[in-house]
Amino acid sequence: MSFFRRSVSPKSTEKLTRVFFASDFHGSERIFRKFINAAKHYEADVLVMGGDVVGKLAIPVIRESNVYYRAHLMGNTERLEGQADLQNFEDRIGTLGYYSKIMDEDEYQAIQGDATAVDRLFHDLARERLATWIELAETRLAGSGVKCFVIGGNDDDPEVLELFKTANAQSMVFCEEKEVEIDDHHTMISVGFSNRTPWKTPREVDDDDLGKMIEGLASGVADTQHAIFNFHVPPVDSTLDTCPMLDWSTNPPTQIVKGGQAVMHGAGSKAVRRAIETHQPLLSLHGHIHESGGVIKIGRTTSVNPGSEYGEGVLRGCLLTLARDEVKHYQLTAG
């Protein structure tokens, strides 16, 4: 794929499929809108979203009077005056992937000391945003023939993900733990769970159990040579999973430093690596480790982690052109 090598034209009769893959939106409104628009922008036939759709932070916008509000963002308390300020603030936090809710001081005080109430607030806000996303995808992709395949990640609460299953959408397909057809030649299996993390997230399991989940799906695929493995967590020690090693005993987890510098390691899954090495699918798609984007080869398998910069409003993705028997080319994008 180097431009120093001669280009070999695809067989004129061969139909190529263009897949756009991105992951780890973490609630960012702007990123999701870009993702849906990516189909037209990149002339993609298929969209795949690799998990972690729910945001990490909810910001209470506290009503101080009919005109004035206050909200805490990025270490600062902002004073908001009037509807225009309020709208601008909500747009900003939507881009960052956060949720917001306008509330009185009393309501804020009541919620902030009650873990269950905070949980409920997150679920409500996340479901509300997901519902608008599904609606947007259905509207934008209607009649285009483009399918948008979606899975959850380890950060996503199962209860929130239920909304995808029950939405009865036409263009947006929740494809976790099943085999779906991408085009005439390729199928895809998907797993959104991860191996254990120090963050104790909602959907993580022991690596052996993750292996059983994957094997249960992969063993049912008739032709793994033409399959895509869409697993949220990347294969261990693959360079798609490099991040600082963390101390699991602290809350939140802290970086392990030796000799004055951070210890780096591969935080991916052994089970995912084993599955790729054993079945050698055409392509494997991953997310999870935002800072370790890249494309590698594991045997004949092209493995991708586009990384994530959802907080900066940048949609990082990978545009892949699939021929019947090979990944014709790929391109990492920052849209």
Site for other proteins in 166-195 (CB under 8 A): none
CB of 4 to other proteins, least distance (A): 5
- Distance CA(303)–CA(284), nearest Å, equals 5
CB of 155 to other proteins, least distance (A): 4
- Read off the tokens for 324: 């019947």
CB nearer to other proteins: give 107 or 215.
Answer: 107
Identify the residue among 179, 196, 199, 270 touching other proteins (CB under 8 A): 199
Residue identified by tokens 């380890």 is 154
CB nearer to other proteins: give 150 or 315.
Answer: 315
Task: Report DSSP letters for 174-225, one per residue.
Answer: E-TTSEEE-SSS-EEEEE--BS--TT--TTB--HHHHHHHHHHHHTT-S-GG
Identify the residue among 11, 15, 178, 200 touching other proteins (CB under 8 A): 200
Q: How many residues make contact with other proteins (CB under 8 A)?
A: 85
Give the sign of the dihedral formed by CA 36, CA 39, CA 45, CA 49. Answer: negative
Task: List the one residue out of 194, 176, 190, 180 whose CA is nearest residue 235.
Answer: 194
CB of 168 to other proteins, least distance (A): 26
CB nearer to other proteins: give 274 or 311.
Answer: 311
Residue identified by tokens 């972690």 is 52
CB nearer to other proteins: give 57 or 167.
Answer: 57
Q: Contact letters (x/-) for other proteins, 270-309, by CB under 8 A?
A: ------------------x-xx--x-x------------x
Distances (CA, A) of 35 to 32, 311, 333: 5, 14, 12
CB of 80 to other proteins, least distance (A): 9
The residues with which 242 forms a beta bridge, in sequence order, are 266
CB nearer to other proteins: give 129 or 290.
Answer: 290
CB of 288 to other proteins, least distance (A): 7
CB nearer to other proteins: give 79 or 212.
Answer: 79
Q: Does 261 bind other proteins (CB under 8 A)?
A: yes
CB of 228 to other proteins, least distance (A): 19
CB of 326 to other proteins, least distance (A): 13
Identify the residue among 166, 184, 249, 252 touching other proteins (CB under 8 A): 252
Site for other proteins in 99-118 (CB under 8 A): 108, 111-112, 118
Identify the residue among 107, 237, 280, 324 touching other proteins (CB under 8 A): 237
Site for other proteins in 24-83 (CB under 8 A): 26, 30, 33-34, 37-38, 41-42, 52, 54, 56-60, 62, 70-72, 74-79
User: Within 13 Å of residue 64, how many CA atoms lie on the same side as its CB?
Assistant: 10
- Read off the tokens for 70: 């206050």
| 319 burial via Cβ count (<10 Å: 0-12, 13-18, 19+) | buried
CB of 222 to other proteins, least distance (A): 29
Q: Write a three-state SS string for 129-182.
A: HHHHHHHHHHHHHCCCCCEEEECCCCCCCHHHHHHHHHCCCCCEEECCCCEEEC
Contact stretch for other proteins (CB under 8 A) within 169-177, 183-191, 255-263, 269-277: 255-263
Give the sign of the dihedral formed by CA 145, CA 156, CA 31, CA 238. Answer: negative
Question: Which residues, including other chains, have CB under 8 Å from residue 248's CB and lie 6 or more apart?
Answer: 198
